[in-house]
Each structure stands twice: as C-alpha cells, then as structure tokens.
Structure 1
Amino acid sequence: MVQQMIMQSLGPVQGGASKLTNSFQVFAGDYLALWSIRDDNKQLRLKIADYQQQLDQLREAYARNRYLENELAFKRVENFPALTARVVGKDPSFWFKTLIVDRGKNDGVIKGMVARTSLGVVGQVIQVSDNYAKILLTNAPSSAIDAMIQKNRVRGILKGAADKGYVLYYVLKNAEVEVGDRVVTAGVGGVFPSGIPLGTVSEVRSKRRGMFQEIEVAPVVDFGRLEMVFIDLSERQKIAEEMGITVAPAVD
C-alpha cells in the first residue's frame, strides 16, 4: 500500500523530469544547430568577400587592358615614332603640374619632347634623368602653347588654367569662335606638331575694352586619369640640334 502511494506520488515528478530532460536535449540540439548555421554563414560571408575581391580585380584588369589596347591601337594607326611611357608619379601643385614617367636618357628621351595620348597633347618634357623624365602638363599655369581654332585656323596662345582647363588668349573680337569649336596645336615654333587636339571651346567672352576675346577651353585629355603616355620622337633630332647635344638612338 505504501509502495503504491510512493509510486503514485513520484510518477508525475519523474514524468516531468523526463519531459524536462527531453526539452533540454531539444534545446541543446537547436543551440548547436544554430551555432553551426552561424559558422556556415560566417564562412559564406568570407567566401563572398573573397569572390567580390576577385571580381573587382578582374574588372580592373579588364578596364586597364581596354585602356592599353586603345592607346596602343592609336600608336599603330598613327604610325609616328614614339616611346611608350608609364606614369609613375605626379606633382599636383598649382603652378607646376607635372608627371613622372619611367623613360629617361637611357631610352633616348631629351628635354623638349612632346608627350601625348590617343586623345591629344599631355605636355612637354622639362627634366630628364637616366631612367625617368618629368613632363610639364599643358594645363599648368606656367604652360603656354601656340594653338588655333581648327575650323577657321584662327590662332592664339593657349595657357594652362589648372583644374579649369585652358584659356585661349589673343584672338581678335571679329574672329568667329563658338562653343564646341575644336582647338588644336598650331605647329608654330616646331615644338608641337600641327593639328594635335588640345580641347574644345567651352565659353567665349568679349570685354567692352580691348581687342581680344577671352576663350575658355576644356581639355580633351583627362589629366587625373593618365596611366600611360607616348613621348613623340618625331622632332628628336631637331630638338637635339637646337640644344647642341648628341643623342643616341631611342629604345622602344
């Protein structure tokens, strides 16, 4: 009788304990499964980040290859003697905006040579070491180039205006100049060959006093994105003779 009473009393307790044990086992299983899922998610996030990095690298390689292909195709089509030079440094100062390229005296580069891209003029070599050269950009305020409006051959002096591009000076008020007109090198002085693109007219102003218009020109070259330039060798011998120096054959 007593045993029956004890069993009757302990039965519900044991049943509850059994249910509690089962619930704990279920909870523990769910908890471990959750940690497993979290770990899987972490691994997936790492893989996604790695794939994204690889995708970014492939996109950059593709864009760079397209850029280089376009530039080299231009060199083949134009068929002018030139050295391909890679931009390795920049000086963004306002007055002397310059680039450093990985070509120098050992490659046949001399002071005074013109640097350009498939789009147009970049600048002029102003300093040369054995393996490097410094190029003064055409948009530097210290730069001045003989230029002309391509459609009517009206000439002026194109001066650099830094981030604003260029200003074309000494164009008479009676000259027909409109926004969108192309501006190219005039070829005067023998430094820059004639007809190389410089920019397009972006604004034309005529002051009440004076004889000349003031013409703003937007560069065709994006100076902030230059990675490679061509150093024009076509005037190399002439420049060397004017400077009174003897030059060795250029190495491409």
Structure 2
Amino acid sequence: MDYRAYNFIRAARPFHKLLQRFMFLGLVLVCFFIMLVGKLDAVLVDKLRSNVVGALIPIIDVMSHPIASVTEVINDLASLPGIRETNIKLERENLYLRQWYLTARKLQAENNQLHALLSSVSNTNRSYITARVVASFSGPFKNSLIVNTGLGQGVKSGQAVLSQQGLIGRVVQVAENTSRVLPITDIKSRVPVVLETNRLRAIMVGNNSSSPNLAYIPQGSQLIVGDRIYSSGDGDVFPAGLPVGVVLAVNGDEASIQPFEKFNSVQFVRIVKLQQPIFIRSGPKVE
C-alpha cells in the first residue's frame, strides 16, 4: 500500500511542478478574462457578484461567530485590570459622596430649624415657562434672543430667563407670542450677584463679550478664581439664588466672570414666573 502511494506521488511530481510554473500565468489570464467580461457586460458581472456574495454570507456568518466569541473573550480579559481600577475609583467616589450626603442632610436640618426660629418665608417655590429660541442676534453693540412665548403664555417684562446651566438674561420686550431676551453679557445688562465663598455682594456688568465684569466690589475684598456666583436678589430684578457663573480672572479690584452658559448656543430656555415682576422700561413690542 505504501509502495503504491509512493509511485503515485512520484508520477504526479512533474505535473505538480508544471502546475506551479503556470499557476501565476493562469491567475493573470483569469483576472484579465473577468475584467474583459466586466467591460462587455457589466450587468452580468454585477449579478454574478451579488449571487456569489449572497452565497458566501451565510458561510462567513457561521465562521465569524467563533472568531467573534474568541475576540470578545480576549477583550474582556484585557479589560479586567481597567475594570478593577474603575471599580476601586467608583467605590472611593461613592464613599466621598455618601459623606457629603450626610453633611448635606445635617445642614438641611439646621437650615430648616433656623428658618422656623426666624419665621422666615420661603421664596423657592417658582414656576417656569418653557420656550424655544427662534432667533439669536450677536454683535459689537447689541445682543438679544427671540423666544416663541409671549403675553399669551404668561410672559411679562422683567422675568428672568434660565438655560439648563444657569441665568442667561431677562425679558425686556413682550409681544403676544414672542419675547425678546437681553443676555447678561450685553452692555446694558446689570445683575446683582453674591459670591458663594465669602458672600460678597457686587454687580455683574455686561460688556458685549463672553466675560462680563464684576463692579462695585468692596475695597480689600479677597476674590477667588473659580468661586461660584449667584444672583443676590437685591432690587428684586432677579430672584435670589440663580446660578450665574464663576470668577474667571482677578486683577486687583477688578474681576471678570465666566457665565455658566453662552447665550448664543442655547436652544431652549425657562422663564421664571414672578407673582409681582418688576416691569423694566423698554422699547416697542416685538412683532
């Protein structure tokens, strides 16, 4: 049996060498033939290609499942160290947040007791009107937003306008179904504010740039870069406690503010409904 197999291999050796010699030439001729057929009848070639691909897809799909499974296992094993590090980091953050949660509950209880002792009236119950920004105007002399709510929806001049991040302006003109909003960065804007850390009160003055200035700062005040700023409620122009921005830079007694939100990138806003809003003198209504 072995002798016959040896004779067969010995007899087939010349044909094997001949096949190797002319294989490259044969492949070139086959490719040339396929290109020629493609030029002569492109529809036939496209149909043949579609049939071949359609026949091979089930085979490829079956073969790919083991490969995909092995690849998924390899990726899972490779990501194990990262998962452990992430888990440790999340456990630390969870512990840190739980400590802050307990501190916040304690402060909330103390705050409620102080409010009860002072018989103070809470001013945090606010309602809002949601509006969509339909136009935005930005220039060196004038900035404004046009929203699609007005008198018909309960909007009144002087109401504060918020984005998802914080205060962006106030309503200055109202029509039946539209309103014009003056951004806090406009040169005509003035916002009474209070700093979070040292409770200093000042006025944020718009300058038609992305970084309004902080004016009327008490002399000798220590301003901290990154300190958060909220509306103080002075003058009843804006409700107290609305987030405004952070201290961006300090130069002596001057400071610049980075608002939490850029007014020209806002799509939806919330208008704070006041029971007795301050009516600010303005021009003609928006048509």
User: Is 1:29 aligned to residue 37 of structure 2?
Assistant: yes
State the Cα deviation string for residues 97-123 of structure 1 (Å, max 9, x = none).
Answer: 110000011111111111112311111
> Unaligned regions of 5+ residues in structure 2, if any?
1-31, 50-123, 282-287
**Is the CA contact (8 Å cut-off) linking 1:95 and 1:142 kept in structure 2?**
no
Corresponding residue for residue 65 of structure 2: none
Residue aligned with 1:164, SS: coil
Q: CA deviation at 1:89?
A: 0.6
- In the alignment, does 2:148 pair up with 1:102? yes
Match of 2:209, SS? helix
Hey, what's the Cα distance between the residues in 1 that align with 2:239 and 2:210?
A: 24
Q: Aligned residue for 2:247?
A: 201
2:258 paired residue among 215, 218, 221: 218
What does residue 228 of structure 1 align with?
Answer: 268
Query: Which residue does the alignment assign to 2:164?
Result: 118
1:190 and 2:236 equivalent? yes
Note if contact 1:94-1:141 (Cα within 8 Å) is conserved in structure 2.
no
Distance 2:230 2:266 in 1: 20
Identity %: 29
Partner of 2:175: 129
Q: Shift in Å at residue 224 of structure 1?
A: 2.6
SS in 2 for 1:224: helix
Equivalent of 1:80, from 126, 145, 150? 126
SS of equivalent residue, structure 2 residue 37: helix
Decide whether aligned partners of structure 1 residues 26 and 169 sit closer, same or farther in structure 2, where only a CA change above 3 A counts: closer
Q: Secondary structure at the match of 2:216?
A: strand
Partner of 2:203: 157
**Contact between 2:134 and 2:146, CA under 8 Å: does it hold in 1?**
yes
SS of the residue aligned with 1:189? helix
Q: Secondary structure at the match of 2:176?
A: coil
After superposition, the Cα gap between the structure-2 partners of 1:238 and 1:160, relative to the gap in structure 1 and judged at 3 Å, is: closer
TM-score when normalising by structure 2: 0.55
Quick one: structure 1 residues 220 and 31, their matched pair in 2 at CA, closer, same or farther if it must change by over 3 Å?
Answer: same
- For residue 234 of structure 2, give the secondary structure of its aligned residue in structure 1: coil
Distance between the aligned counterparts of 1:27 and 1:154, measured in 2? 81
- What is the distance in 2 between the residues matched to 1:195 and 1:26? 76
Contact 2:196 2:228 survives alignment (8 Å): yes
Q: 1:27 to 1:197 in 2, by over 3 A?
A: closer
Structure 1 Cα separation of the partners of residues 187 and 234 of structure 2: 20
Residue 11 of structure 2 is matched in structure 1 by: none
SS for the counterpart of 1:177 is: coil
Which has more helix, going by share of residues? 2
Structure 1 counterpart of 2:257, which letter? V
When the two structures are superposed, what TM-score results if normalisation uses the length of structure 1? Answer: 0.62
* Larger strand share, 1 or 2: 1
Distance 1:29 1:108, change over 3 A: same
In the TM superposition, residue 27 of structure 1 has moved relative to its aligned partner by 6.3
In 2 relative to 1, CA 169–25 (structure 1 residues): closer, same or farther, beyond 3 Å?
Answer: closer
What is the letter of the counterpart of residue 39 of structure 2? Y
Q: Deviations over 1:194-247 (max 9, x none)?
A: 1211111111011xxxxxx110111111223200000100x243436x99xxxx
Q: Name the aligned partner's letter for residue 37 of structure 2.
A: G
The structural deviation recorded for 1:183 is 1.1
Classify 1:238/1:104 alpha carbon distance in 2 versus 1 (closer, same or farther; 3 Å): closer
Q: Distance in 2 between matches of 1:33 and 1:218?
A: 67
What whole-Å deviation, never above 9, does each CA across 1:52-91 have from its counterpart, x for those lacking one? xxxxxxxxxxxxxxxxxxxxxxxxxx86301000000111
Gapped runs of 5+ residues in structure 1?
1-23, 41-77, 207-212, 244-252
Tell whether the 8 Å contact from 1:144 to 1:160 is kept in structure 2 after alignment: yes
Task: Give the AA of the match of 1:156.
Answer: A
1:33: how far off? Answer: 5.7
